[in-house]
Amino acid sequence: MSTAMGPIALPDWAWERAEVREALRARDMGAVFRFIQQYSGASQARIAAAAGMTQARVNEVINGHREVSRLAVYERIAEGLLMPDAARHVLGLAAGREAKQSGAAFDLAAFPEVVRVYAEQASAAEEIRENARRAEELDILAVRGLGLIGLNGSLLRSACLPREQGSGLRVRVALLDPDGDALGQRAAEIGESPESLAGGVRLAEARLRELRAEGRDVTAFRYGMLPTWRLIRADDTLFVGAFDAGWEGHTSATYKVMATPHGPLFRGFRRMFDAIVAGAQRTV
């Protein structure tokens, strides 16, 4: 329990809520202060004391009449709210002073892994294309892959075109087994017939065979598990979305994950893809 004039402590789960993280990402301190009031019961005066501000200033921020723009003020707010390092990173701040001094955690701002979050794949489309154009390796984990590589106008189809100076691109694509039980379950989740979904997978495989027949280094595999992750890896950059009931992968929030010396996410997702391919049936 914090003292009347000391920092304000929130439970860890409060900082992990999606709406709080979105407010931090947008640097909407008015929303952050309102969440502080909601989850801690703190008054405007109490928030002001913790953040080194006046109550009048806090009131203006909460009501949208003034914005916080100075880094020093963000730092005071973060310290006064005992903001954990994960929340500080979303806000764009380095790790807290105590973490740096103790060595308990490295500075997430200096060693980013999740470097950007997009509302959906369409928002990241141009960046995905650009990374794929420069890549030497392209891995794709999808359900049927038509929107990614299976059609002429697909997001990544152009990345497979011939390149200058003979440089090539190795492409591996893992698609849901059209003959497996998981496909029927996935079809039910999205309100589509198994025949339609399976037909989409087979069409994508046929179009990938065309690329291979043209001399492209393309291989395709069928996996049998219920799809969870949707991955696009272009060398050391990974774009990650998710599948859920009634939720298509391209409409999922898309995380841009970079390989770093200490980050487990990129390594874990790449290892998962390699394991899926190792246990899958090759079709192309």
Q: pLDDT digits over 151-160, tens only?
A: 999 999 988 8
Q: What is the pLDDT of residue 161?
A: 77
**Residue 210, class by beta-carbon neighbours within 10 Å (0-12 exposed, 13-18 middle, 19+ buried)?**
exposed
Cα separation, 236 vs 183, whole angstroms: 30
pLDDT range class, residue 168, cuts 50, 70, 90? confident
Quick check: helix, strand or coil at residue 239? Answer: strand
What do you get for the CA distance between the two ends of the chain, in Å? Answer: 61
Residue 158: Cβ within 10 Å count: 13
| Local confidence band at 99 (pLDDT 50, 70, 90 cut-offs) | very low
Average pLDDT, the chain: 88
Instruction: List the strands of the sheet with 229-234, edge to edge.
Output: 114-118, 254-258, 237-242, 229-234, 137-141, 170-176, 217-223, 281-282
Alpha helices in 81-180 (DSSP H): 85-91, 97-102, 121-134
Q: Give the C-alpha separation, 155 to 132, whole Å.
A: 10
What is the per-residue pLDDT for 275? 97
Residue in the block written with tokens 């598990």:
225
User: What pLDDT is recorded for position 87?
Assistant: 87
Contacts of 245 (CB under 8 A, 6+ apart): 189
pLDDT of 86:
82
CA nearest neighbour of 83 among 131, 186, 150, 14: 14
Are the C-beta atoms of residues 257 and 269 closer than 8 Å to each other?
Answer: yes
Whole-number percent of the chain with pLDDT over 70: 90
Q: Do the beta carbons of residue 92 and residue 109 sit within 8 Å? A: yes
- How confident is residue 203, by pLDDT bands cut at 50, 70 and 90? very high
pLDDT, position 38? 93
Give the pLDDT confidence score for residue 3 in this predicted structure: 42
Q: Is residue 101 very low, low, confident or very high in pLDDT (cuts 50, 70, 90)? A: very low
Mean pLDDT to the nearest integer, 9-20: 88
- What is the model's pLDDT at position 118? 87
Cα 47 to Cα 82: distance, rounded to the nearest angstrom: 12
In DSSP terms, 173 is beta-bridged to 140, 220
- The pLDDT assigned to 72 comes to 84
Q: In terms of pLDDT, which residue wins out, 175 or 103?
A: 175
Which range among 76-85, 97-106, 192-201 shows the weakest confidence by mean pLDDT? 97-106
- By CB neighbour count within 10 A (0-12 exposed, 13-18 middle, 19+ buried), where does 88 fall? buried
CB 48 within 8 A of CB 57: yes
Predicted confidence band at 146 (pLDDT cuts at 50, 70, 90)? very high
Token pair for residue 8? 């304000």
**95 — pLDDT class (breaks 50, 70, 90):** low
Token pair for 108: 């997430």
The burial class, CB within 10 Å (0-12 / 13-18 / 19+), for 71 is exposed
Does residue 230 contact residue 208 with C-beta atoms inside 8 Å? no
User: Span 79-97, mean pLDDT?
Assistant: 81
Instruction: Give the C-alpha separation, 30 to 1, whole Å.
Output: 24
What pLDDT sits at residue 164?
A: 58
Q: Which residue has the higher pLDDT, 35 or 25?
A: 35
163 pLDDT band, cuts 50/70/90, is: low
Task: Give the model's confidence band at 165: pLDDT under 50 very low, under 70 low, under 90 confident, else very high.
Answer: low
- Mean pLDDT for 237-253 is 90
SS3 content of the chain, % helix, strand, coil (to 5): 50, 15, 35
pLDDT band at 106 (very low <50, low <70, confident <90, very high): very low
Tell me the β-bridge partners of 282: 221
pLDDT above 80: residue 93: no
The pLDDT value recorded for residue 67 is 87
Average pLDDT value for residue range 40-59: 93
